[in-house]
Amino acid sequence: MLESRMLLVLAIAGIMLSCRQDMHDQPRFEPLEMNSFFADGRSSRPLVAGTVARGQLNLDEHLYQGKVNGQLATTFPFEITASVLTRGQERYDIYCAPCHDVVGTGQGMIVQRGFRPPPSFHIDRLRNAPPGHFFDVISNGLGAMYDYSERVKVRDRWAISAYIRVLQLSQNTAIEDVPAEVLKDLSTE
Amino acid sequence: MAQIFHPSMNTFSKVTIFGSVFMIAGALWFFLTVERSSYVTQAKVVREQPVPFSHKHHVADLGIDCRYCHTSVEETAFAGIPPTKTCMTCHSQIHATAGMLEPVRESWRTGKSIEWVRVHDLPDFVYFNHSIHLKKGVACETCHGPVGEMALTWRENSLNMEWCLDCHRDPESNVRPREEVFTLDWHPKTEQAVLGARLVEDYDIQNLTNCSICHR
């Protein structure tokens, strides 16, 4: 009788002990998981300053810095196709429209909530600004605007710059410059 | 010789022999019910966070796209938790002195991480990749639920394997056009059965139920 009771207790203890989560939480780190080994508690280690990964030396001044011979680039570093503009529109609507609004007048939702209004893209100074200017501001920030270099990739920054040109044209085109077939569509709607 | 068993043992033995089936079934039912309850899965349970961040406010009221903060969701396995800098992009000026946001400003000043509490954590023996699900037309809200209604974030689904398999076995009922995966409160304009069947064809979606798809 005593022996069978002992067995029962052992079995219950065994079941309770087996309720561990070792397989659920294995000794490796998921992205951004905490690690008490380091003083700052991060398992994802910050890069040592000046680190350059293989193949990421990024020497192309035009593509990566938006400059040619130290001056803001007046051209795009790659061909702007319809798909680049579509991508630019998508990225603009995600990252820029909250403040600059979808047309670029600088009255987005965040501005309506009290953020310092950015200038409209439809002023002469910005209509005449070279593409490199927009790339530079996205990459390095300006005034109250933080930089978006971690959030928006290099090619996407150029796509957004190109799309800003589209927005500017959309608000500042003489009726004579609109192609006849587009005009027909517009007037029938 | 004296009686070993009391007469009541007759009834007792009958009940235990015939009742054992029900007792075992009941115990099994109880175990499975507890396993699927939110007590174990934490589904629909709001987590305490260092800052009471509201997806409802940022997503539904302000209309900020998911990708503004979860930048890596389209290209990597991990959707990404935004760094403090993303918060400060707006909150350097908006609610810049709010007491509620002090942990954010402290993190910005000192460079110490905000210790957000993870809401969705799959077991380590499961491989999951966000980007492929988006590319195949599985929307954020398909798994994460009505994020635009979450004043504080909760886990919408159990993350149990049977829940994964429900969709992997029947993608037709769950996929939507790629352009709509970030849309909240989306409803198909055509019948889901027709649309789903077409998308499964177009996107080359397979019923991936092999063990090693996820347990690799």
Query: Looking at the partner chain, which of A26, A28, A42 has a beta carbon nearest the beta carbon of B113?
Result: A42
Q: Whole-number mean pLDDT of chain B?
A: 94
Chain A interface mutation, best of B66, B74, B89, highest count of A Cβ atoms under 10 Å: B89
Kindly state the percentage of chain B with pLDDT values over 90: 88
* Mean pLDDT value of segment A87-109: 97
Q: Which domains does chain A have, with CATH numbers?
A: 80-172 (1.10.760.10)
Q: What amino acid occupies position A132?
A: G
Q: Is the pLDDT of residue A180 over 90?
A: no
Residue in A with minimal Cα distance to B78: A31
**CB within 8 Å: B93 and A34:** no
Query: Are the beta carbons of B88 and A31 separated by less than 8 Å?
Result: no
**What residues contact B200, with CB distance under 8 A and at least 6 apart?**
B171, B172, B175
User: Residue A12: its pLDDT value, please?
Assistant: 73
- How many beta-carbon pairs under 8 angstroms link A with B? 62
- Phi, psi for residue A41 in degrees, rounded to 5: 75, 10
pTM: 0.88
pLDDT of residue A16: 62
Judging contacts by C-beta atoms under 8 Å, the chain B residues touching residue A26 are 124-125
Q: Do A150 and B63 touch (CB under 8 A)?
A: no
> Could you tell me which residue, A19 or A80, shows the higher pLDDT?
A80
Mean pLDDT of B168-192: 94
Minimum distance, in Å, between the CA of residue B111 and any CA atom of chain A: 9
**Chain segment A103-161, per-residue pLDDT in tens:** 999 999 999 999 999 999 999 999 999 999 999 999 999 999 999 999 999 999 999 99
Query: What's the pLDDT band for A10 if we cut at 50, 70, 90?
Result: confident
pLDDT digits (tens, 9 = 90+) for B94-107: 999 999 999 999 99
Distances (CA, A) of B130 to B45, B76, B137, B203: 22, 7, 11, 16
Token digits of residue B79: 């959707």
- Residues of chain A in contact with residue B128, where contact means CB-CB under 8 angstroms, are none
| Confidence (pLDDT) at A181 | 84
Q: Do B89 and A146 touch (CB under 8 A)?
A: yes
Nearest to A34 by CA among A23, A45, A24: A45
User: Residue A8 pLDDT more than 80?
Assistant: no
Q: What is the pLDDT of residue A25?
A: 87
CB contact under 8 A, B93 and A115: yes
- Closest-CA distance, B69 to chain A, in angstroms, reads 8
Reduced to 3 states (helix: H, G, I; strand: E, B; else coil), residue B46 is strand
Query: What is the DSSP track for A60-105?
Result: -HHHHHSEETTEEPSS-SS---HHHHHHHHHHIIIIIHHHHTTTSS
When comparing pLDDT for B169 and A181, which is higher?
B169
Q: Residue B2, class by beta-carbon neighbours within 10 Å (0-12 exposed, 13-18 middle, 19+ buried)?
A: exposed
- Nearest-Cα distance to chain B for A40, in Å, is 7
The per-residue pLDDT of chain A, averaged, comes to: 91
Angle between helices B102-110 and B84-91 (to 10 degrees): 120
Q: What's the pLDDT score for residue A15? A: 67
Structure tokens at B127: 């491989």
Nearest-Cα residue of chain B relative to residue A34: B115
Q: Choose, out of A21, A26, A47, A151, the residue to mutate when testing the contact with B (most B CBs < 10 Å).
A: A151
* Chain B CA closest to residue A33: B118
Does the beta-carbon distance from A98 to B62 stay under 8 Å? yes
pLDDT confidence band for B49 (50 / 70 / 90) = very high
Residue to mutate among B31, B57, B124, with most A CBs inside 10 A, is B124
Segment B186-205 shows an average pLDDT of 94
pLDDT of residue B30: 95
- Phi, psi for residue A67 in degrees, rounded to 5: -130, 150
Nearest alpha carbon to residue A140 among A154, A126, A125: A154
Residue A182 gets which letter from DSSP? H
Instruction: Say yes or no to pLDDT of A188 above 70.
Output: no
Burial grade of B161 (CB within 10 A; 0-12, 13-18, 19 or more): middle
* Per-residue confidence band for A175, with pLDDT thresholds at 50, 70 and 90: confident
Which residue type, as a one-letter code, is found at position A91? R
- Cβ–Cβ gap A40/B113 under 8 Å: yes
Within 8 A of A45 by CB-CB distance, chain B residues are none
- Angle B112-B115-B120 from CA coordinates, rounded to 5°: 145
- Integer Cα distance of A24 and A30 in angstroms: 12
pLDDT digits (tens, 9 = 90+) for B132-170: 999 999 999 999 999 999 999 999 999 999 999 999 999
Higher-confidence position of A182 and B176: B176
Q: What pLDDT does residue A82 have? A: 97
The pLDDT value recorded for residue A63 is: 96
pLDDT at B3: 82
Q: What is the pLDDT of residue A185?
A: 81
A150 contacts B83? CB cut-off 8 A: yes
pLDDT of residue B2: 77
What pLDDT, in 10s, does the model give residues A73-87? Answer: 999 999 999 999 999
Question: Which range (A7-11, B51-55, B183-187, B205-209) has the least confidence?
Answer: A7-11
**Contact: B78, A31; criterion CB under 8 Å:** yes
pLDDT of residue A18 exceeding 80? no
pLDDT bracket for residue A21 (50, 70, 90): confident
Contact list, A12 vs chain B (CB under 8 Å): none
- Answer yes or no: is pLDDT of A6 > 80: no
Residues of chain B in contact with residue A95, where contact means CB-CB under 8 angstroms, are 68
Predicted confidence (pLDDT) at residue A189 exceeds the cutoff of 60: no
* Interface residue of A26, A32, A109 to substitute, partner B, most B CBs within 10 Å: A32
